Amino acid sequence: MEPQPAPPTLFNSLTRKAEPFVPVHAGEARVYTCGPTVYNYPHIGNMRAYVFADVLGRTLSFKGYNLSHVINITDVGHLTDDADAGEDKLEKAAKASAQSIWDIAQHYTEAYWADITALNIRQPAHWSIATDYVPQMIEFAQSIAAKHCYELPSGLYFDVASVADYGRLARAATDEGEGRIEAVDGKRQAADFAIWRKTPEGERRQMEWDSPWGRGAPGWHLECSVMSGALLGFPFDIHTGGIDHREIHHPNEIAQNQAICCTGGLDVASHSGANIWMHNNFLVERSGKMSKSSGEFLRLQLLIDKGYHPLAYRLLCLQAHYRSELEFSWEGLGAALTRLKRMVLGIEALKHRHAELVSASISPPASLSPDEGWTLKQVQGDDELMKAQGGNLQAFDEAISNDLATPEALTDIDLVLAAKKQAPAVRLRAIAAMDAVLGLNLLTLTRADLRLRPKSATFAEAEIEAILAQRKEARAAKDFARSDALRDELAAKGVEVMDGDPLGWEWRLA
Ligand code: AMP
Ligand code: ZN
């Protein structure tokens, strides 16, 4: 039998150890990612969670597993506090904007999908929408109610003492955790949470359903247990989310999963519903611009409007390990953009050289595979590639297999670009294979795509190019007075001419 690639090692928040990935179903990887609550635009911190989940999915595909990935869309049940306090985020947004809750959900879901596309995050096999699963949620609650829940006037609550090791996943001191949970009269434990919330008498919600516990809406934690179990089957392989979910949402999902899996115990890892629970650390910003309530909050669209290509933000994320906190700054984003430009510039030169060789029939027209679909097995079966770049590709594989060490993996792209003596085609193939995991679109991005291009700048590129062409002619004719005049004309339009720029740029917006 052919040797199988070594499995990746992934950090499991539940056991607090890095563990080799052992799939539940041979050859498959089933992954569930907690998705956005669609009451507002996602901020770039939220998008870090999906870049991480995407790199995980791409890594598993690269290693040869057949990936089933689910991301949910929370359009009901998430209160303004992760525990049981406050209002439903969507009901609140609907009241504030006088729009229907369904219109709000649709608008922000589409905005989120636009960010997913801009960041080159692959489509999961399923986008599961919470409101599509309400009947299944009621069924789930009915099957665990007798043994694990109790009813109060405000709804049906989960008794966390009914399962073993409740909260084992969480890191925050219990006191601190409990401090955040609003008391509800009659709760047995502070950490008990609503499975079903009844609509208070005399009120009407835009979204409500009939249930054995009265008209109302499901609790937020219930939806992820129901959708992950329905679409991936318990136990599945990996559950992901941001580290805030490690404290309340995921411990509550685990408690529900223990209940539905007919075991109060957690002695077998799979009784939590998923074998591995993975959490990305936060993107932080010191001045509070990540808060959705601040005026200029950090949406991906704001970065784009300021002229940054969205994949520069993806690269910024990859430059840090997903379990490290990452501080956002405009300088850091600018540096990531410059690094991306350097890579793209190097790749453009390789493509150019490759095309020249092909047209001169010096090297056979090797096909350039797109950035999708490469697997480690294909890499290892490509003798020419292994001969030229085997060591580098092995280092790349080791990096991503070491709990997704993207900062190290990125340096392997630089090493391919530095291998100046090797044929361009084989180097381009090595980059394509690596980019199948990194997802930076390295083979299709062009230098022009990465030009800093703020939305506020009003200029016509064709006009600039025309003036630059005249200036070239003037310089060729040694008419330096005219050349300088044309440079000034451009400066008046806010365009700086960049003679002799090491990155090969002819101009930039000043
Ligand atoms: P939400 O829409 O609030 O449910 O959050 C969507 C995802 O973003 C969840 O996985 C959160 O854990 C994650 N998240 C929230 N804030 C940040 C942040 N600042 N950095 C990274 N991930 C975050
Ligand atoms: Zn969730």
Q: Which ligand is nearest to the CA of 239?
A: 2
CA distance 418 to 237: 38
Q: Are 130 and 246 in contact (CB under 8 A)?
A: no
Tell whether ligand 1 has an atom less than 6 A from the beta carbon of residue 49.
yes
Ligand 1 pocket residue status of 282, Cβ below 6 Å: yes
**pLDDT value for 421:** 94
Of all protein residues, whose CA lies closest to atom 18 belonging to ligand 1?
45
Burial class (CB in 10 A: 0-12, 13-18, 19+), 117: exposed
Which is the closest atom of ligand 1 to the Cα of 243?
Answer: 12
pLDDT band with cut points at 50, 70 and 90 for residue 73? very high
Confidence (pLDDT) at 173:
46
Please work out whether the CB of residue 423 comes within 6 Å of at least one atom of ligand 1: no
| pLDDT tens profile 79-100 | 776 666 677 887 888 778 878 8
pLDDT in tens, 116-152: 999 999 999 999 999 999 999 999 999 999 999 999 9
Nearest Cα residue to 277 out of 225, 239, 249: 239
Tell me which range, 14-18, 82-86, 404-408, is most confidently predicted by mean pLDDT.
Answer: 404-408
Measuring CA to CA, how many Å separate 245 from each of 178, 183, 195, 207, 228? 15, 20, 17, 25, 15
pLDDT of residue 179: 41
Please give the sequence-ordered ranges of beta strands (E in DSSP) within 357-494, or none if there are none.
Answer: none
Q: How far is CA 216 from CA 199, 200, 207, 345, in A?
A: 5, 8, 8, 57
- Ligand 1 center to 437 CA (angstroms): 22
* pLDDT, the chain, mean: 89
Q: pLDDT tens digit string along 453-464?
A: 777 766 677 888
Ligand 1 atom closest to the Cα of residue 284 is: 19
What is the DSSP code (8-state) at residue 10? E
* pLDDT the model gives residue 129: 95
Position 452 confidence tier, pLDDT thresholds 50, 70, 90: confident
Who has greater pLDDT, 497 or 265? 497
Q: Do 35 and 245 touch, CB atoms closer than 8 A?
A: no
Q: Rounded to the nearest 10 degrees, what angle do helices 330-359 and 424-438 cross at? A: 140
Q: Which atom of ligand 1 is nearest to the CA of 74?
A: 4
Give the distance (Å) from ligand 1 centre to CA of residue 123: 19
Contact 227, 140 (CB under 8 A): no
Highest average pLDDT, of 195-209, 317-331, 463-477, comes from 317-331
Ligand 1: distance of its center to the CA of 242 in Å? Answer: 5
Q: Under DSSP, is residue 127 helix (H, G, I), strand (E, B) or coil?
A: strand
| pLDDT tens-place string over residues 309-350 | 999 999 999 999 999 999 999 999 999 999 999 999 999 999
Rounded to an integer, the average pLDDT of 199-224 is 91
Determine the 3-state secondary structure of 366 from DSSP. Answer: coil
- Centroid of ligand 1 to alpha carbon of 456 (angstroms): 29
Confidence of residue 471 (pLDDT cuts 50, 70, 90): very high
Q: Atom 14, ligand 1: which residue's CA is nearest?
A: 46
CA distance 118 to 311: 7
Amino acid 178: pLDDT = 41
The atom of ligand 1 lying closest to the CA of 244 is 12
pLDDT of 268 over the 90 cut? no
Residue 439, ligand 1, Cβ within 6 A: no
Q: Is 187 in the pocket of ligand 1 (CB under 6 A)?
A: no
Least confident of 20-29, 97-106, 329-338, 417-426: 97-106
Q: Say whether 452 sits in a helix, a strand or coil.
A: coil
Out of 244, 247, 323, 327, give the residue to mutate to test ligand 1, the one with the largest number of ligand atoms within 8 Å of its CB. 244
Length of the chain: 510
Q: How far is the CA of 49 from the centre of ligand 1 (A)?
A: 6
283 CB within 6 A, ligand 1: yes
Residue 297's pLDDT band (cuts 50, 70, 90) = confident
From CA 119, how far away is CA 115, in angstroms rounded?
A: 6
Angle, nearest 10°, between helix axes 249-260 and 134-148?
Answer: 70
Q: Which atom belonging to ligand 1 lies closest to the Cα atom of 34?
A: 10
Q: Please tell me the distance from the alpha carbon of residue 358 to that of residue 360, in angstroms, as a whole number.
A: 5
Whether the upstream peptide bond of residue 235 has omega within 30° of 0, thus cis, is yes
If one compares 466 and 318, the residue with the highest pLDDT of the two is 318
Q: Whose CA is nearest to atom 15 of ligand 1?
A: 46
Mean pLDDT over residues 481-495, rounded?
Answer: 86
Pocket test for ligand 1, best of 13, 31, 41, 46 (most atoms within 8 A of CB): 46
Q: Which protein residue's CA is at the shortest distance from atom 7 of ligand 1? A: 46
Residue where the block lists tokens 């006088």: 98
Looking at per-residue pLDDT, the higher value among 318 and 165 belongs to 318
What per-residue confidence (pLDDT) applies to 358? 79
Query: Measuring from atom 23 of ligand 1, which residue has the nearest CA?
Result: 46
